[in-house]
């Protein structure tokens, strides 16, 4: 069975760092682009970042660019999100999601996000 | 613009048809995907692209695209279809992704 399992969330103070992990099973991670998506309590989904299947390109939402870094270790079948300079507004459930297809010529992910993890919560203490 | 716009909420009588729309400039170049999210659960893709319904998704879910607007139609809505629905696509640059604000569907 195809699964994604996030870990690494928790309670953090503003300004600190946290690294989230997303372990893939049931498929070969290196064949897929991957995304991080977050959802603040009671709010909608917000796309955070994408990394191409081979790690050659990465793109970020304006709200996290310069603070968050998406990476992958295909040998470990694991996706990461390094979050630095955390802010209270980063409070959310963080999901990793698999991108179903990529353009064969460019490597660019095409969507949809066909597999999602159950999410890991990041909250802040004052 | 770098936004996808959805109506916040719609309601539909049991067994009737409801259409959810999503508007954005990027939709002129890229197809939308649609996700269903129930409370406490991760989103699930219910329709994508020009005409793609994942296996296991009932055929009462269908999608369409025209200009800068994508639509998801539920024909014969069931009680279990009550959920939040989000559209998703790329922005005009093609490199960044967006979600609409979500539409809460209530089945009466």
Structure confidence by residue, pLDDT tens digits, B21-42: 999 999 999 999 999 999 999 9
How many other C-beta atoms can be found within 10 angstroms of the C-beta atom of residue B30? 21
- For residues A43-48, give the mean pLDDT: 98
pLDDT at B1: 52
Q: Which residue in B35, B84, B96 is closest to A59 by CB distance?
A: B96
**Does the beta carbon of B33 lie under 8 angstroms from any beta carbon of chain A?**
yes
For residue B38, give Cα distances in angstroms to A51, B85, B103. 27, 9, 12
Contact residues on chain A for B65, CB-CB shorter than 8 A? none
**Given pLDDT bands bounded at 50, 70 and 90, which one contains residue A104?**
confident
CA distance linking residue A19 with residue A62, whole number of Å: 19
**Does the beta carbon of A102 lie under 8 angstroms from any beta carbon of chain B?**
no
**Does the beta carbon of B45 lie under 8 angstroms from any beta carbon of chain A?**
yes
- Nearest 5°: the CA angle A91, A97, A103 is 135
- For residues A33-58, give the mean pLDDT: 97
Contact residues on chain A for B89, CB-CB shorter than 8 A? 111
DSSP-assigned letter for residue A13: -
A61: tokens are: 């939402």
Q: Counting every residue, how long is chain B? A: 108
- Residues B86 and B37 sit within 8 Å (Cβ to Cβ): yes
Instruction: Tell me the HSE value of A122 on the side-chain side, using a 13 A CA sphere.
Output: 30
**Does the beta carbon of B48 lie under 8 angstroms from any beta carbon of chain A?**
yes
Q: Is the dihedral of CA A19, A25, A28, A32 positive or negative?
A: negative
Contact residues on chain A for B86, CB-CB shorter than 8 A? 44-45
pLDDT at A44: 98
Q: Choose from A3, A43, A44 for mutation: most chain B CBs within 10 A.
A: A44
Contacts with A39 (C-beta within 8 Å, 6 or more apart), sequence order = A45, A46, A92, A93, A95, A119
């Amino acid at each position: 069975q195809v699964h994604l399992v996030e870990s690494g969330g928790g309670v953090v103070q503003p300004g600190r760092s946290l690294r989230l992990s997303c372990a893939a099973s049931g498929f070969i991670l290196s064949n897929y682009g991957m995304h991080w998506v977050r959802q603040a309590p009671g709010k909608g989904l917000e796309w955070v970042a994408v990394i191409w299947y081979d790690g050659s390109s990465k793109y970020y939402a304006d709200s996290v660019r310069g603070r968050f870094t998406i990476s992958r270790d295909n040998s470990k079948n694991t996706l990461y999100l390094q979050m630095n300079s955390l802010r209270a507004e980063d409070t959310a459930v963080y999901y990793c999601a698999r991108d179903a297809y990529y353009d064969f010529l460019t490597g660019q992910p095409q969507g949809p996000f066909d597999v999602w993890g159950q999410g890991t919560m990041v909250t802040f203490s004052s | 613009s770098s936004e996808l716009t959805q109506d916040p909420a719609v309601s539909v009588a049991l067994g009737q048809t409801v259409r959810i729309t999503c508007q954005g400039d990027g939709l002129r170049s890229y197809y939308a995907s649609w996700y269903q999210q129930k409370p406490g659960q991760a989103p699930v893709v219910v329709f994508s692209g020009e005409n793609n319904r994942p296996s296991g998704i009932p055929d009462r879910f269908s999608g369409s695209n025209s200009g800068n607007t994508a639509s998801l139609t539920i024909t014969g809505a069931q009680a279990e279809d009550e959920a939040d629905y989000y559209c998703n696509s790329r922005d005009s640059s093609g490199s960044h992704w967006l979600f609409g604000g979500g539409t809460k569907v209530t089945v009466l």
